[in-house]
Structure 1
Amino acid sequence: MKLGLSLGYQTAWSTPADHLALAQEADRLGYSVVWAAEAYGSDSVSILSWIAGQTSRIDVGSAVMQIPARTPAATAMTAATIDTFSGGRFRLGLGVSGPQVSEGWHGVRFGAPLGRTREYVDIVRMALSRSRVEYRGEHYTLPLPDGPGKALKLSFRPPRADIPIYLAAVGPKNLELAGEITDGWLAIFYAPDLADGYLASVAAGRARAGRELAGFDVVASVPVATGDDEAACADRIRPHAALYVGGMGSRKQNFYHQIAVRMGYPAEAAEVQELYLTGRQRDAAAAVPHDFIDRTSLIGPKSKIKDGIQRYAESGVTTLSAHLFTPDLPSSVATLRTLAEAYEAAGVG
């Protein structure tokens, strides 16, 4: 198992300079990859391009580039460009986002996410291979049949035609799709004790494509808060968990809420959602079960962090990407170093 760093996206309490400093420290410490996200604020492409130009060894990955935000061809162009000027260090993570962002921000209907994703990845791979892009699908048709468009191919030769593609997935069917058509899974709220179920879905998709699970990158984005007071560490993560379980979506459709339900917290998830959606975010954070955080995060002193790293590795995670919950840049850098030390002590590399 390797270590990675999940930066998320820019917020009111983070700066591009902080993100760059963390990426450079992770590069120095030997982390394998740094990921950037996007929702409806900062985009992942700009941040990763900036970081790639100021690091030397660490891979840069999108977690994710939103499928409704770009055509498949635009995504292929972007991936090929970043991979070229980074010297082959780009990883392309994709996700459909959710209906609120897809339809409210991008103006793209959310229906049939599995079918759209399959066709999208097909076209991206076709473009990256420098084949002429001709596609007749249910959701995408290239070129358009009733106009002057013609089949084109990527006009320059990037260093790799096989840029690794990852899929952000939470449900069993989406996990199967990730296993079938991509090179890795971007996981959130990954509980090692439930890994057999996750990986069975991935393995089913791999088998459908005639491939083994070996070589597939299971990337868990894991909240990390270090310190001697375990409860205080969990409290730093609570608002994040409440936002996703309670506020990312509507009462009818929230994929992260469904994760908590599948983990065995239906009543608690319903309470968190009700509190969050009625404007009581602090109460929602307080209602997140400690056990939910403990099962999906690394919290506490270095010795407990080391044991947790071993647990993730034994469960089948191949890249543990730390999502740091720290109050400032110095403590973030210190946490990166503590995590690297615990990783070495765990002996899972």
Structure 2
Amino acid sequence: MAQRDVVVPGGMDSITDIVEMAQHAEAHGFGRVSLPEVTGRDGVTLLATLAERTNHIGLSNDVFSPWGRSPAVLGQTGVTLQELSDGRYRMGLGTSSPDLTERWHLAEYEQPLRRLRETVELVKQVTAGERIDYDGEFFEGGGLQLRGADATEVPVDVAALGPKAVELAGRFADGWVPQLFTPEALAERMEDLERGADLGDRDASDLRVAVTVRSCALDDAERARDVAARQLAFMIGAYGPYYRQSISRQGFESETDAIHEAWDDGDRAAAVEAVTDEMVEELVAAGTPEEVRETVERFEAVDGVDAVRVGFFGEMTGDQRRRTVEVLAPDA
């Protein structure tokens, strides 16, 4: 049976709230907790704090930008967090987005897949204790190696949506973290992961596939679906091009075009109105506790899925998140 994990939402009120959510997930039997890093709190500090204040739950991040830290610093971060957590850490990397790269990290967003590949390969060199030696398009040279800390395995999970990015995850990384797929589209995208694994002379079954399913379990099912629709409108309309393109390819082209057009026009209400019931039913888990459980189980049933990561929607209150965690808890 697939493991269940929890994704801590960004923008929580305090570090204490983040710690309490991780401890709540641990107490209810979840296997892993993941933290975001966008323009808010530093993810490394938060992960170090959780390593000290939890006992056995796995720790991950969503996701470190390859423009935000050098590969060497990422490698140092990985071995340090692995030591601090007694081996509970998995690193999350992704291509990030043009908006975050250019407006936050003040870097040029070019050849994101190539930069991600080189970052993954260099992180592997650093954490293995090898002397850095690399000849790439973004990174070239080397000569030094990790000192003052033990080399250790740091699994790297890649957050990816498109076929080439998923292929990259299969070829170079240790796991794939997808989001906002229908179960059917997720199953189809597994073929890209398997192709990548073949190219890397690897076994796809050794890769950890952990799909994020944003969830909201309320007795008022209509309220839960409204919350989900507003989040989907935001992610399609405003949150970079990748989610829109991915969802469009899954059979929602006219819907995503309408959402994006309305959002660009500043008509947020029309953008939300363009989110269909089918999109909510297929891409996320929102409704009564029983409906949400059934949706999550559909994702768990996809061949190759090792974990479902329970995510949330921005409008949810702390009590609603806690309730959803309890509804979907492995010990429920």
TM-score by length of 2: 0.94
Structure 2 match to 1:9: 10
Match of 1:320 among 305, 308, 319: 308
- Structure 1, 71-80 or 271-280: larger mean CA deviation: 271-280
Quickly say closer, same or farther: Cα 1:208–1:228, change in 2 above 3 A: same
Deviation at 1:282, TM superposition (A): 3.2
Q: Give unmatched runs, 5+ long, in structure 2.
A: none
SS at match of 1:123: helix
Q: Give the letter aligned to residue 183 of structure 2.
A: P
Structure 2 match to 1:146: none
Structure 2 match to 1:338: 327
What per-residue deviation string (whole Å, max 9, x for no partner) do you get for residues 2-58 of structure 1?
Answer: 0101113225xx432222111101111121111111222223222222222111111
RMSD between aligned residues: 1.7
SS at match of 2:130: coil
Quickly say closer, same or farther: Cα 1:259–1:127, change in 2 above 3 A: same
Structure 2 match to 1:234: 225
Q: Give the letter aligned to residue 330 of structure 1.
A: D
Structure 2 match to 1:154: 146
Separation in 1, partners of 2:95, 2:141: 20
Structure 2 match to 1:38: 37
1:291 and 2:278 correspond? yes
Deviation at 1:87, TM superposition (A): 1.0
Deviation at 1:211, TM superposition (A): 1.8
Identity %: 26
Match of 1:172 among 145, 154, 163: 163
Separation in 2, partners of 1:107, 1:330: 37
Deviation at 1:107, TM superposition (A): 2.2
1:26 and 2:25 correspond? yes
What per-residue deviation string (whole Å, max 9, x for no partner) do you get for residues 255-303 of structure 1?
Answer: 1110121111112111111222222223322321121121121222233
What per-residue deviation string (whole Å, max 9, x for no partner) do you get for residues 50-86 of structure 1?
Answer: 2221111111101101111010001111111111111
Q: Give the letter aligned to residue 178 of structure 1.
A: A
SS at match of 1:102: helix
Q: Give the letter aligned to residue 2 of structure 1.
A: Q
Aligned residues: 329
1:196 and 2:162 correspond? no
Q: Give unmatched runs, 5+ long, in structure 1.
A: 144-150
Q: Give the letter aligned to residue 53 of structure 1.
A: E
Structure 1 match to 2:177: 186
Q: Give the letter aligned to residue 112 of structure 2.
A: P
SS at match of 2:53: coil
Structure 2 match to 1:215: 206
Separation in 1, partners of 2:49, 2:267: 37
Deviation at 1:109, TM superposition (A): 1.8
Deviation at 1:213, TM superposition (A): 1.8
Deviation at 1:156, TM superposition (A): 2.8
Separation in 2, partners of 1:248, 1:82: 29
Deviation at 1:344, TM superposition (A): 5.7
